Homo-oligomer: A and B are copies of this chain.
Amino acid sequence: MANSKFEYVRNFEQPDSLMPNTWIVVRIDGRGFTNFYSRMCAKYEFEKPNDKRALDLMNAAAKAVVTDLPQIAISYGVSDEYSFVFHKTCNLFERRASKLVSTVVSTFTANYVYLWSTYFTDTPLSFPLPTFDGRAVCYPTVQNLRDYMSWRQADCHINNLYNTAFWKLIQLGGLDNKEAEKTLAGTLAADKNEILFSRFKINYNNEPEMFKKGSIIFRDYELVEPGSHNEAAAADALAEPAVQSKSQAEKDKKRRAKAKVVVEHLDIIRDEFWDKRPWILSGKPGRPANPSKEIQT
């Protein structure tokens, strides 16, 4: 049975390599999440608006992805979504979009399902199983990339403030969905803070950082005291791949593999986070973090 007469079908595969020297963001989302989250809430009794177990599970699955793929520079998660940033110099799978997206999605899903029982000890998974879809987007400059990250974190803040107020009005205030919606219609951030405080004595600032800021995953090294404000342009220069010897690249790879992958809940909109951790944008591993020293922002 000669196979050769069928092989021409391979010519229909279209190349999908992403532009070199750009930051690749692979973002995954809980599939059909609006329904999914409602379903998850109903089915597995997720707490509203934030279920700590559900977020911890998301973070654990994402940490497995980052650990598995050292080409990931940083990762940011909120609610049922996670963004994985591949460094602009990354050449994994020759930057083929479908390979990158499907590998991230598959690794995330495998760990999410496998680790479920660790976080939901008495609520077993059942069909249909939770799944995630994904897509890849490229950003040419550090400024564009940071604006993407800021966009997600600003979104997290806006949604969480709204959802916190909304659910407190229902859970503590006794309103129904419609009444809560109406109460919040047209309110600004300050108004929502005020509602939370005056009605329920809740200071939004004291809400858990994970809920307010989302989760950031990265390889950790010793923090750097930045001499000056770290402008995007300088970061671009930093991020420009210097010509590197093979042995240096090999050393870097080993240091990266040894680095501790951490999950934090920090402000990534302001410069400070990036200035203190230049290795994230430069791709050059830093000095091992002093294990006896506390992590500081």
Contact = CB atoms under 8 A, between A and B. Distances in A.
A180 interface: no
B140 A99 contact: no
Indicate how many identical chains form the complex. 4
Contact of A101 (B9, B102, B129, B143): B102
Contact of A17 (B14, B88, B103): B14
Interface string A1-12: 111011111111
A123 to B, nearest CB: 14
Interface in A12-28: 12-17, 19-22, 28
A249 interface: no
A107 B129 contact: yes
B14 A137 contact: yes
Interface string A203-246: 00000000000000000000000000001111011001000000
Nearest to A132: B106
Interface of A: 1-3, 5-17, 19-22, 28, 31, 64, 68, 88, 93, 96-99, 101-103, 105-114, 125, 127-141, 143-144, 147-148, 150-151, 154-155, 157-158, 189, 231-234, 236-237, 240, 269
